[in-house]
Structure 1
Amino acid sequence: MEFFKVLMIICPLVFLAGVIDAIVGGGGLISLPAYMAAGLPPHLATGTNKCSSTFGTLLSTVRFMKNKKIHYIAALTSAGAALVGSPLGATLNMILDERYLSYTLLVLLPIIAVFLICKKDFGDQEGRVEENKVRMIVLSLLSGFLIGMYDGFFGPGTGTFLILVYTGVIGFDLVTASGNAKVVNLASNVAAFVTFALNGKILWSIGIPAALFGIAGNWVGAGLAIKGGKKLIRPMFMVVLLLLMIKIGYDLFLG
């Protein structure tokens, strides 16, 4: 009976996290606390969360692929760079106090939110990327590496920041940026998932059913992002930025 109570807490929230993650990233801000609230120890919660998020991200990536909403050169370049940056970020985490990054994010996130509100044409770009392929590849490489480092060092909102960079810096439209981010997230998730699995940090009896709900959520979210486009993605950005601010503030001042 206790097992089913745990699933009743986790599975609906993992589904919701999958919907949000497929659209703008940041689903881990919902799913990881769900595992913790259900009573899983931190390492098992993190590993089991990677199980559900990896399969969910795989599904949403496939859906973006089928709808031709991924720019493969940019996405794969960033994914390769992120796999190099992520372990470096994890190494830095063991040396530096992550509170410095948390304080920086608490300042930057409201600025990003105001920017998104004021810049009404954010994410409308089309064709700008193809004007200079060398620029696109260099920026994809650099952004993948830096955000990969952020993922290894801190983590929350990685997919959201990827979409922001793909759109605001490199010049993709919001839907393609979201598809590209899925490829990078998938590479990062698979690497982490394999590591946790080999070290016995996944509770499979919970991870497998939760993964099914994560797959369903990502399927729904990817469909909404592809059909809704900018009108849906922009407000979802605000929701995820707010969740990230709440999480960072809680960890800094109350955690």
Structure 2
Amino acid sequence: MDSELIRYLIVCPLVFLAGFVDAMAGGGGFISLPGYLLTGMPVHLAIGTNKLSSSMGTTLATWRLARNGFIPWKQALFAVISALIGSQMGAYIALLIDAHIFKILMLVIIPLTSWYVFRSHSLGATEETSGKVVNHKNLICMAIGLVMGIYDGFYGPGTGTFMLLAFMGLANMNIKEANGITKAANLTTNFGALYVFLTHGTVDLMLGLTAGLFSIAGNYLGTRQFIGKQSFSVRPIILLVLTIFFVKTLMELI
């Protein structure tokens, strides 16, 4: 079977699944980026192409959540502006790091990510807040956007989940508000980083656009689940993909 066809057969289903997961609770990058890397794509090309496909899906998810009134635009604006700046900073940093160093870093990042996914309660979060009053909420949202923007531009997986938890824990938002503002900020980080990768020629346009259609489909179904308050455990899927990716990366470095 043609190697290019195999690449599409691996990436597209995983990107669809990533879109479905990401629309509900973030963390789709834990599935989509390893999916690209499992095909043997160079690290920088995989990250750049992943930004293209995820941007397409996140655009749909953000639009659907905005249309249903889940985005608190006042706080979202502060997060979006800082996230745009941070994502471009992170993308430039990523381009400066050698691909071999990236793989070594992943041997540390993947187990930490797996531990986080295993312990995270964000997928079962309730709509209630703690009731405490949070001062300087706009500044908190701006700080979250900047830090998460840098991370998303540099690497990416988990940005949505980390943002979701930060907005809920630090800004005391309920899960619907947090997910709405997360989608708006995450969309910005995707486009900010994508611009950098496109200008440096590290995006496979054909694969990214094709996978992007699968991302749109996954995000559509995921947002429908979220808006309809239907639960779905994504933790086992993420852990399985991360395990496969870890083994592959380790074998390449041995």
Q: Normalising by structure 1, what TM-score?
A: 0.77
Structure 2 matches for 1:244-255, cutoff 5 A? none
1:116 equivalenced with 2:121 (yes/no): yes
1:228 counterpart SS class: coil
Note the C-alpha offset of 1:126: 5.5
Q: Which residue of 2 aligns with 1:60?
A: 61
Q: CA RMSD in A?
A: 3.5
Q: Give the AA of the match of 2:47.
A: T
The CA deviation at 1:113 is 5.7
Which string of whole-angstrom CA distances, capped at 9 and with x for unpartnered residues, describes residues 178-221 of structure 1? 12111111111001111222222222221211111111111111
Say whether the 8 Å CA contact 1:56–1:217 is kept in structure 2: yes
Identity, % of aligned positions: 34
* 1:154-233 pair list within 5 angstroms: 154-228=155-229, 231-232=231-232
> What's the counterpart of residue 128 of structure 2?
125
Alignment of 1:1-40 (within 5 A): 2=2, 3-40=4-41
Cα distance in 2, alignment partners of residues 17 and 124 from structure 1: 23
State the 1:90 CA deviation.
5.9
Amino acid in structure 2 at the alignment position of 1:192: A
Distance 1:107 1:45 in 2: 21
Q: Check 1:245–1:9 CA distance in 2 against 1; reply closer, same or farther (3 A cut).
A: closer
Give how far 1:10 is off: 1.4
Q: C-alpha separation between the residues in 1 aligned to 2:105 and 2:92? A: 16
Amino acid at match of 2:64: R
Task: Tell me which residue corresponds to 1:76.
Answer: 77
2 CA distance for matches of 1:101 and 1:39? Answer: 15
- 1:213-236 alpha-carbon deviations (Å, 9 max, x no partner): 11111111111111126x44xx44
SS across alignment from 1:184: helix
Q: Which AA in structure 1 matches 2:55?
A: T
The change in CA–CA distance for 1:80 and 1:241 in structure 2 (over 3 A counts) is farther
Distance 1:39 1:109 in 2: 22
How far apart are 1:171 and its partner, in Å?
A: 1.7
Q: CA deviation at 1:153?
A: 4.8
Number of aligned positions between the proteins: 245
User: Quick one: structure 1 residues 51 and 109, their matched pair in 2 at CA, closer, same or farther if it must change by over 3 Å?
Assistant: closer
> How has the CA–CA distance of structure 1 residues 41 and 115 changed in structure 2, closer, same or farther, with 3 Å as cutoff?
closer
Q: Find the residue that maps to 1:170 and give its secondary structure.
A: coil
- Structure 2 contact 31–241 (Cα < 8 Å) conserved: no
Residue identity in the other structure for 2:29: G
Distance 1:240 1:149 in 2: 26
Deviates more, 1:187-196 or 1:152-161: 152-161
CA contact (8 A) 1:85 1:146 kept: yes
Unaligned runs of 5+ in 1: none
Q: Distance in 2 between matches of 1:154 and 1:209?
A: 22
- Report the secondary structure of 2:228's partner residue: helix
8 Å Cα contact 1:29-1:243 kept in structure 2: no
Deviations 1:107-151 (A, max 9, x none): 79758865739xx8x43326958x66x532122122222323333
List structure 1 segments (4+ residues) > 4 angstroms apart after TM superposition.
87-95, 97-115, 126-129, 238-255
Q: Residue 211 of structure 1 aligns to which amino acid in structure 2? A: G
- Provide the secondary structure at the position in 1 that maps to 2:78: helix
TM-score under structure 2 length normalisation: 0.78
